[in-house]
Structure 1
Amino acid sequence: MTYRVAELIADSLAAHGVDRAFCVPGESFLPLLDALHDRNDIDLVTCRHEGSAGLAAVADAKLTGRAGVVMASRGPGAFNAALGLHVAAQEAIPLIMLVGQVDRPNLDRDAVQEVDCGRSFAGLLKWSVRLNSADLVPEMMARAFAAALAGTPGPVAVELPEDLLAETAEGLVARTNELALPEPGIDAIKRAAGLLAASEKPIVLVGGECRTASFREDLITFSEKWHVPVVTLNKMQDQFPNDHRLWAGQFGFFTSPSHAKLLERADLIVAIGTRLGDLSSLGFAFPRQSEPRQPLIHVYPDTDAIGKRFRTDVAVVSGSHAFLLAMLAAPATSPDRKQWLQQAAAVRAATHGWPRIGVPSEDVLGHAVAAIASHFKADGIVTTDSGNFAGWVHRIFSLAPATRLLGSACGAMGSGVPAGLAASLRYPDRQVIAFCGDGGFLMTGNELATAVDRRANLMIVVSNNCSYGTIRSHQERTFPNRPYGTDLSNPDFAALARSFGASGFVIDDAESAPGIVGEAMSVRGPVVVEVRSDVRQTLDKSLVASR
């Protein structure tokens, strides 16, 4: 058989550690599909929508630390997949989008579905390339992966003209480029250690630049050595054990007043693995720039992300883990911070945990989430779509060192099910629970068909309040008693699940939640649990009632 460019691209994927790709097949990259047909080192997951495929690839990248791969056809396929590009850019996740393109003689002639990805997605992509000749494929593919992973990770688009895929590539070999991994300088570590040693009320903000198990272990050791509380940023709750005495909780999409007050009192902020965007800086309010200014140690592997919005006292251009290792090797001294650590622990207690008494029975979702959390395993994986329903998940679930959380940090609806699919395929023997709202599920819930086809061990929990509830809550605050355009008419989600070949359960009152959850947990394979709740019964109302 002739060795084609299609085989060369498949070899390039394998050379970069790719063992799974998500796609909706298209006639514009048939040779590549053919090249993958007889391989057993790359699993091709056929999805029902390119948007889902892109979101699943992003989730897989979060789990592996490698670039996720999504394949789509040109035009509509590429634009459908662009949701994944947006999420990857917002959350700094490495992603390769392979796009089947029209044949080279018809480029720039307005051929059917022709699209220039570089121009169309310029604001999102770190780099884009259109492959034009077989001899440049090894170089361009290596460059694409390097671009996706270097500095601030992000999305890269590679256009594949369909006639090029069928060309011979005899004698050409896939190649990889070694990735430059910045490490902290000796002077930066000395200055960071000096500031930490002198600080009375330091706080560490941890983002998602590094998500490895060894990083998390060393983060615990670092916090204990320097006696400093740790706050995990939005959807990063799994970065630090939730039962650890030094965990001060998670900054959510809407940060609690308790966390805002804690950050206000800090006399040093150590930001590790975050670009300090609007959510992690509470609307660019912290570190405080007015007097008394809060000193900042900022650790990130990209110079463009440091000193961009805030005055930085110690700029550490480094990977998060390399910084921790250097700080662990440095001598540590610190003042007595007992009172400060008690304040941080009080904030954690105020913002996390399930009230044992007083939560109204009308809050069916809260009781259902509590019942599910009681069955959650220490090495389980939980995914959350975007929406207010996730508030109970983050408050009730206590995540252990081996737990993984895949959340929509940038607020992209529809991510819950694709992330759950990716997690269940990556770790088929681990418990995976995907939490969605009714709106988000109906955006990408068709991937339930993919989960059934793959016999994925996935539980999907749908909060059905017949509303785009988060948007409605904004309406109620801005225009009281005037909700409009946010009501939904929904199907029977449990019956819908059964029509897909999955199991379906319904929880419509708090009293039945423990029993139904127990029954659903006993079923292996795709399961959908519909929780019917009242959009007016918010988490805040339940917390007030429980006091």
Structure 2
Amino acid sequence: MTQTVAGTAVRQLVEAGVRTAYTVPGESFLPLLDAWEAEHGVRLVSTRHESGAAFMAEAEAKLTGRPALALASRGPGAANLAIGVHTARQDQTPLIAILGQVESGARGRESFQEVDLAAMYAPLTGWAREARAAEEVPSLLAEAHRAATGPRPGPVALAVPADFWTAAYDEGMPLAPGGDQHAQTARSSGESADESADGLAEHLAGLLSSAHRPVAICGPGDRVGRETLRAACEAAGFGVYSAFRRQDCFDEDHPHFLGHLGLGVPAQVRQALDEADLVMVLGTRLDAITAQDHRYPLPHQHLVLVGTGLPRPRHPGLTTVLDADPHAVLAALVRRATGATEAGYQGPRSPGAPQSARAAARERWERHHAAAVRYARPTGEATRPGTVHPAEVVTALRRLVPDDVILTNDAGNFSAFFHRHWGFRATHRLLAPCNGAMGYAVPAAVAAKLHRPRNTVVALVGDGGVLMTGQEIETAVRHAAPIVVLAFQNGMYGTIAMHQATSHGRLAGVDIGRLDLATWARGLGAEGFVLDDPARVEAVLAEALRCGRPCVVDVRTDPDVIAPGRRLSGLLEPAGHPT
């Protein structure tokens, strides 16, 4: 039976493990929508904005490790989708964007909503193409999947003219995306993946053995393997930092944990990284925030990159690249250490006693962090009447949620309280945009709940971010996805306000205004709660967590409490501009 291009594309995606398509439906890919809707065992999620669709697809892929699908129409739809695609690029998340294009006969004629989509998406993806003939769509889709799941995972974009979808396709399905022919391994000629990992682990073990103060900066827990990372650091004796917004890769109460390389990291937490002679970067690019505005690695430090397709940072010192699956290399490192122990090996042979250096670093971390996770309001941190302190909300939430909670985190100054006061365990899952994209948390929470319906899913977002994509709460209502949204409302774009206060001593264009977010949520079909009384923080959060429906907690916060340990008025007053 002759198949259409649309039907063939759907079968390819399904065989590759794709189960959800996120979209704002558009006329340029109607046959693809129809074919997807007719397919058994898949879900079509119609979102309220293409940015929500892209964030949902990115969050799903981050959670499952498999490429997710986002569909958008030509011109405006593709432009709206771009923010989530950029997020996937920065976070190295596999995502397939299929973009409807104008009809093939109308290309190049200033047609309605016509844009060169491949050129538009080229800087945002690792692979962007436009089909020039209907019969090449399936092969291009297979190529797109290979690129999305290649050595450096990330987003890809395929633009398809509207009339191609209904064209007949009877050439037989090309190799399904993700087929064995294209499996990525670390092996060299004649070696198995295990043999290659064992060889690299032996090399890494030698570097660690000769290091005085080795530390690791770790990326996504699913990429490095949470239990394997724990076993490896215990066996080899190195300390662990989590990369920016990758705190769920490691238990923060583990004695080898040294800190989170996010924003505003105190000097005492960075001290172990300053003193390190060997810095391993495991399964993540060394982005600007993780590298503390490109401070690290220091010139004298030996940088070791472990992972496939990692960009090599500018580093004047010695750099070693182990281009292999970091999970496999760490697992081999553990096997090697286990075998050595059974043979009488007594532990790391480092001449600099890294255990004592690491213990001192851990003590500094505990002094910095222990009080934060038990938060007791310091003197001078009172908030205005009718507001609550963000730190109290975060620490109360931490006490109430189960250990398998999934947290989605938006961009904004409110998130500094989350990173500072949470206290992560490796059983938690954190979905957060490393590129600082506002509006991520609510759509990401919807996708997380759809794919992990038994888990508690909590979105943390500011009032700026919730007004960008918060309408996806309606999507949660429609799909019966009971997420809990904590919307921290201080009436301003707090991050920009803090930068302006620090740089100029005055504010410009940062006002949002006070809103009734609880009533707004009810208008979208969700539950709404107001949290404005410090005495009721735990009670309101507990009620939201057990309500069993999508809900929004309107967390009223003091705009003067701009960041942990900082007051906006204190930043403005030196320039003579009190709040």
Q: Number of paired residues? A: 536
Q: CA deviation at 1:168?
A: 1.2
Which residue of 2 is the match for residue 357 of structure 1?
Answer: 376
Matched, 1:136 2:143: no
Which residue of 2 is the match for residue 153 of structure 1?
Answer: 153
- Out of 392-401 and 494-503, give the one that drifted further: 392-401
Which residue of 2 is the match for residue 301 of structure 1?
Answer: 308
Select the residue among 192, 195, 204 that pairs with 2:216.
Answer: 204
Q: CA deviation at 1:490?
A: 3.7
What is the CA–CA distance in structure 2 between the aligned matches of 1:121 and 1:459, rounded to whole Å?
33
Letter in 2 for 1:478: S
SS of the aligned residue for 1:379 comes to coil
8 A contact 2:375–2:392 mirrored in 1: no
Q: CA deviation at 1:310?
A: 5.2
Letter in 2 for 1:182: A
What is the CA–CA distance in structure 1 between the aligned matches of 2:171 and 2:504, rounded to whole Å?
67
Which residue of 1 is the match for residue 406 of structure 2?
Answer: 381
Matches within 5 A, 1:98-177: 98-176=98-176, 177=179
Which residue of 1 is the match for residue 432 of structure 2?
Answer: 407
Letter in 2 for 1:181: T
Q: 1:381 to 1:530 in 2, by over 3 A?
A: same
What is the CA–CA distance in structure 2 between the aligned matches of 1:541 and 1:245, rounded to whole Å?
26
Q: CA deviation at 1:542?
A: 7.2
Letter in 1 for 2:63: L
Letter in 2 for 1:295: H
Matched, 1:246 2:250: no
Matches within 5 A, 1:203-242: 203-208=215-220, 211=222, 215-242=225-252
- CA offsets 1:8-31 (integer angstroms, 9 cap, x no match): 110111121101111000011000
Which residue of 2 is the match for residue 393 of structure 1?
Answer: 418
SS of the aligned residue for 2:544 comes to helix
Matches within 5 A, 1:530-545: 530-541=554-565
What is the CA–CA distance in structure 2 between the aligned matches of 1:67 and 1:142, rounded to whole Å?
12
Select the residue among 195, 207, 227 that pairs with 2:207.
Answer: 195
- Out of 367-376 and 168-177, give the one that drifted further: 168-177
Which residue of 2 is the match for residue 348 of structure 1?
Answer: 365
Q: Structure 1: where are the runs of 5+ without partners?
A: none
Select the residue among 432, 453, 456 that pairs with 1:428.
Answer: 453
8 A contact 1:262–1:347 mirrored in 2: no
Q: CA deviation at 1:321?
A: 0.8
8 A contact 1:385–1:408 mirrored in 2: yes
Q: CA deviation at 1:211?
A: 1.4
SS of the aligned residue for 2:515 comes to coil
8 A contact 1:361–1:510 mirrored in 2: no
Q: CA deviation at 1:357?
A: 2.9
Q: 1:185 to 1:227 in 2, by over 3 A?
A: closer
Letter in 2 for 1:446: Q
- CA offsets 1:112-164 (integer angstroms, 9 cap, x no match): 01111121122112111222334323321110011111122222111121111
Which residue of 1 is the match for residue 512 of structure 2?
Answer: 488
Select the residue among 333, 336, 347 that pairs with 1:327.
Answer: 333
Q: CA deviation at 1:272?
A: 0.7
8 A contact 2:397–2:541 mirrored in 1: yes
What is the CA–CA distance in structure 2 between the aligned matches of 1:279 and 1:118, rounded to whole Å?
30
What is the CA–CA distance in structure 1 between the aligned matches of 2:503 and 2:88, rounded to whole Å?
31
Which residue of 1 is the match for residue 574 of structure 2?
Answer: none
Instruction: Name the Cα RMSD after superposition.
Output: 2.0
SS of the aligned residue for 1:123 comes to helix
What is the CA–CA distance in structure 2 between the aligned matches of 1:310 and 1:36, rounded to whole Å?
51
Q: CA deviation at 1:313?
A: 3.6
- Out of 196-205 and 183-192, give the one that drifted further: 183-192
Q: Structure 2: where are the runs of 5+ without partners?
A: 188-195, 338-346, 568-579
What is the CA–CA distance in structure 1 between the aligned matches of 2:417 and 2:527, rounded to whole Å?
24
Which residue of 1 is the match for residue 354 of structure 2?
Answer: 337
Letter in 2 for 1:339: S
8 A contact 1:364–1:508 mirrored in 2: no
What is the CA–CA distance in structure 2 between the aligned matches of 1:196 and 1:158, rounded to whole Å?
44
Which residue of 2 is the match for residue 448 of structure 1?
Answer: 473
What is the CA–CA distance in structure 2 between the aligned matches of 1:354 and 1:462, rounded to whole Å?
20
What is the CA–CA distance in structure 2 between the aligned matches of 1:93 and 1:402, rounded to whole Å?
20
Letter in 1 for 2:272: L
Q: 1:311 to 1:14 in 2, by over 3 A?
A: farther
What is the CA–CA distance in structure 2 between the aligned matches of 1:37 and 1:73, rounded to whole Å?
17
Q: CA deviation at 1:58?
A: 0.7
- CA offsets 1:484-504 (integer angstroms, 9 cap, x no match): 111112420001011111111
Matched, 1:46 2:46: yes
8 A contact 1:11–1:174 mirrored in 2: no
Which residue of 1 is the match for residue 575 of structure 2?
Answer: none
What is the CA–CA distance in structure 1 between the aligned matches of 2:39 and 2:395, rounded to whole Å?
44
What is the CA–CA distance in structure 2 between the aligned matches of 1:21 and 1:334, rounded to whole Å?
52
What is the CA–CA distance in structure 2 between the aligned matches of 1:277 and 1:75, rounded to whole Å?
31
- CA offsets 1:196-245 (integer angstroms, 9 cap, x no match): 1122211110013x615x81111110011012111111110000112212
8 A contact 1:230–1:248 mirrored in 2: yes
Which residue of 2 is the match for residue 256 of structure 1?
Answer: 266
8 A contact 2:301–2:318 mirrored in 1: no
Q: CA deviation at 1:294?
A: 1.0
SS of the aligned residue for 2:56 comes to helix
Q: CA deviation at 1:185?
A: 6.1
SS of the aligned residue for 1:467 comes to coil
- Out of 255-264 and 466-475, give the one that drifted further: 255-264
Q: CA deviation at 1:526?
A: 0.3
What is the CA–CA distance in structure 2 between the aligned matches of 1:74 and 1:412, rounded to whole Å?
22
8 A contact 1:384–1:435 mirrored in 2: yes
Which residue of 1 is the match for residue 542 of structure 2?
Answer: 518
What is the CA–CA distance in structure 2 between the aligned matches of 1:465 and 1:351, rounded to whole Å?
25
8 A contact 1:416–1:436 mirrored in 2: yes
Q: CA deviation at 1:399?
A: 2.6
Which residue of 1 is the match for residue 443 of structure 2?
Answer: 418
Which residue of 2 is the match for residue 316 of structure 1?
Answer: 322
TM-score for the superposition, normalised by structure 2: 0.89
8 A contact 2:23–2:70 mirrored in 1: yes
Q: CA deviation at 1:2?
A: 5.6
TM-score for the superposition, normalised by structure 1: 0.94
Letter in 2 for 1:284: H
What is the CA–CA distance in structure 1 between the aligned matches of 2:41 and 2:537, rounded to whole Å?
42
Letter in 2 for 1:105: G
Q: CA deviation at 1:351?
A: 3.6
